[in-house]
């Protein structure tokens, strides 16, 4: 399949890996953060780490939409579903994010809440059209990738005069998260991991383009290489980052030229700007409250804002003390550093959000790399095996 098979070619992967090994400078260590959870998944799934020399370390970033969703936002959605008799629609992974008091949207559904999985924002709007006697709320999450579809359904609902539809907006933005990672790294604080460069997100960059990353590269002297999600994309991006570091450059380069342009999708950007505006502050799991890091619905479309319509108020809730998801999202720790990883916390019974989504670092590590971290102990010989 074009753009798939040729980007999974094993011989080419080994060739790029040889170039990486040849260009790594002796005595130098390289620390690169793959911001996007999709890259974390690809790195684990395709065994990219096994092709890298030990001097190259990949650090997980906070670019997993479900992972950065704080408990307080999930609590709001649960309260909305249980107390206001609405039909709550959202994406599948969101249902399993642990919330307060041992609840999740899945458990709220078991208690009688009308919660439904949809594959798109348009599905939620169509449900509102079909069930005009019920209030339908779309719990919208995600980065810039999923924001334009949310804007589109809000604008469509307003144009059609649909009064039983609203959106609980939890859309977050990529640049502020990168800024927070870089600021924490530059300050020397323990808040974030020190890094030498970024593997920039793919789908987000299709929307916002490559231009927004230029300031990070300039202000913090950290190279950014935007990459696709296939294994050869990631390997090539790592090679490009190594070359920049070796040459003392800090530029934005675009490996994913088949989909990403400098300006991005202007139509999608205009649509988002029409419907949404910046929130003063928004809490992220792992990164805390950050100014102008998320979106809310503009006054013009306020009737379609579920928080406004139902009088919802946000309350910050601390994470489970045993869970290291926040530190993992900042790149400070890895999944194996968490004491409950793979034992108490599994994809079937997630304690933290990093184990929920397939893009989460813990879920990817559990699925594709968990047993690499468990030392192999030889079984004692028995008379039968000794013979």
Q: Is the pLDDT of residue 294 over 80?
A: yes
Sheet holding 30-36, edge to edge: 56-63, 30-36, 197-200, 224-226, 252-254
Same domain for 123 and 82? yes
pLDDT at residue 182, rounded to an integer: 87
Q: Is residue 384 part of a domain?
A: no
Give the mean model confidence (pLDDT) for residues 170-192.
Answer: 76
Same domain, 169 and 281: yes
Residues 107 and 168 reside in one and the same domain: yes
Whether the per-residue pLDDT at 387 is higher than 50: the answer is no
Does the pLDDT value for residue 154 go beyond 60? yes
Task: For residue 22, tell me if it sits in a domain.
Answer: yes
330 and 272 in a common domain: no
Asked if 34 and 59 count as a contact pair (C-beta separation under 8 A), the reply is yes
pLDDT per position as a tens digit, 236-259: 999 999 999 999 999 999 999 999
Q: Is 374 part of a structural domain of the chain? A: no
78 and 167 housed in the same domain: yes
The overall average pLDDT reported for the chain is 91
The string of pLDDT tens digits covering residues 259-271 is: 999 999 999 999 9
Confidence of residue 5 (pLDDT cuts 50, 70, 90): confident
Q: What are phi and psi of 212, to 5 degrees?
A: -60, -20
pTM score, whole prediction: 0.90
pLDDT at 2: 74
Confidence band, pLDDT 50/70/90 cuts, at residue 188: very low
Residue 259 lies in a domain: no
Q: Given a cut of 90, is residue 213 above it in pLDDT?
A: yes
Contact 178, 35 (CB under 8 A): yes
352 pLDDT band, cuts 50/70/90, is: very high
Q: 319 in a domain, yes or no? A: no
pLDDT confidence band for 194 (50 / 70 / 90): confident
Residues 97 and 202 in one domain: no
Number of domains forming the structure of the chain: 3
Rg, Å, the chain Cα set? 22
Please report, for the domain that includes residue 203, its CATH number.
3.40.50.11750
Domain presence at residue 320:
no
Query: Would you say 115 and 105 are in contact if contact means Cβ atoms under 8 Å apart?
Result: yes
**Has residue 372 been placed in a domain?**
no
- Spatial CB neighbours of 30, under 8 Å, sequence gap ≥ 6: 24, 55, 56, 57, 196, 197, 241, 242, 245
Q: How far apart are CA 187 and CA 183, in angstroms?
A: 6
Residue 179 located in a structural domain: no
Is the domain of 250 the same as that of 270?
no
In this structure, the answer to whether residues 97 and 163 fall within a common structural domain is yes
Q: 87: closest CA among 124, 32, 56?
A: 124
Q: Which two tokens stand for residue 58?
A: 């990949």
Residue 107 has pLDDT above 70, yes or no: yes
pLDDT digit string, tens, across residues 78-106: 999 999 999 999 999 999 999 999 999 99
- 304 and 361 inside one domain: no
Tokens 């190259």, residue? 56
What does the pLDDT look like over 41-85, one tens digit per residue? 999 999 999 999 999 999 999 999 999 999 999 999 999 999 999
Same domain, 52 and 156: no
Are 355 and 229 part of one and the same domain? no
Residues 85 and 53 in one domain: no
* Domain with 238 in it: 5-63+189-254
What is d(CA 37, CA 62) in angstroms, rounded to the nearest whole number? 7
Task: Determine the Cα–Cα distance for residues 24 and 170; give it in Å rounded to an integer.
Answer: 41
């Amino acid at each position: 399949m074009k753009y798939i098979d040729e980007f999974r070619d094993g011989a080419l992967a080994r060739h790029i890996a040889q170039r990486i090994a040849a260009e790594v400078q002796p005595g130098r260590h390289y620390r690169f953060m793959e911001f996007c959870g999709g890259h974390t998944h690809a790195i684990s799934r395709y065994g990219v780490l096994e092709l890298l020399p030990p001097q190259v370390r990949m650090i997980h970033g906070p670019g997993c939409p479900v992972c950065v969703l704080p408990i307080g936002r999930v609590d709001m959605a649960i309260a909305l579903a249980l107390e206001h008799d609405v039909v709550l629609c959202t994406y599948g992974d969101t249902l399993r994010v642990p919330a307060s008091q041992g609840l999740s949207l899945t458990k709220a559904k078991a208690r009688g809440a009308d919660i439904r999985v949809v594959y798109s924002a348009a599905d939620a709007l169509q449900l509102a059209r079909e069930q005009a006697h019920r209030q339908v709320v779309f719990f919208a999450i995600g980065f810039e990738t999923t924001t334009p579809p949310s804007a589109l359904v809000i604008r469509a609902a307003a144009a059609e005069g649909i009064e039983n539809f609203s959106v609980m907006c939890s859309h977050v933005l990529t640049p502020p998260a990168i800024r927070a990672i870089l600021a924490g790294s530059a300050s020397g604080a323990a808040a974030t991991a020190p890094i030498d460069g970024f593997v920039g997100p793919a789908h987000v960059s299709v929307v916002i383009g490559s231009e927004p990353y230029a300031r990070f590269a300039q202000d913090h002297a950290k190279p950014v290489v935007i990459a696709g999600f296939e294994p050869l994309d990631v390997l090539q991006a790592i090679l490009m980052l190594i070359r920049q570091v070796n040459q003392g450059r800090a530029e934005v380069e675009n490996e994913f030229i088949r989909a990403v342009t400098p300006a991005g999708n202007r139509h999608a950007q205009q649509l988002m700007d029409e419907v949404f505006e910046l929130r003063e502050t928004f809490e992220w799991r792992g990164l805390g409250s950050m100014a102008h890091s998320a979106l809310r619905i503009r006054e013009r479309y306020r009737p379609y804002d579920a928080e406004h319509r139902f009088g919802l108020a946000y309350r910050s809730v601390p994470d489970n003390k045993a869970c290291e998801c926040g530190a993992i999202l900042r790149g400070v720790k890895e999944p194996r550093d968490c004491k409950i990883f793979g034992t108490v916390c599994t994809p079937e019974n997630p304690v933290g959000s990093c184990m929920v989504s397939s893009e989460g670092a813990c879920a990817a590590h559990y699925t594709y790399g968990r047993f690499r971290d468990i030392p192999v102990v030889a079984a004692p010989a028995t008379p039968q095996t000794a013979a």
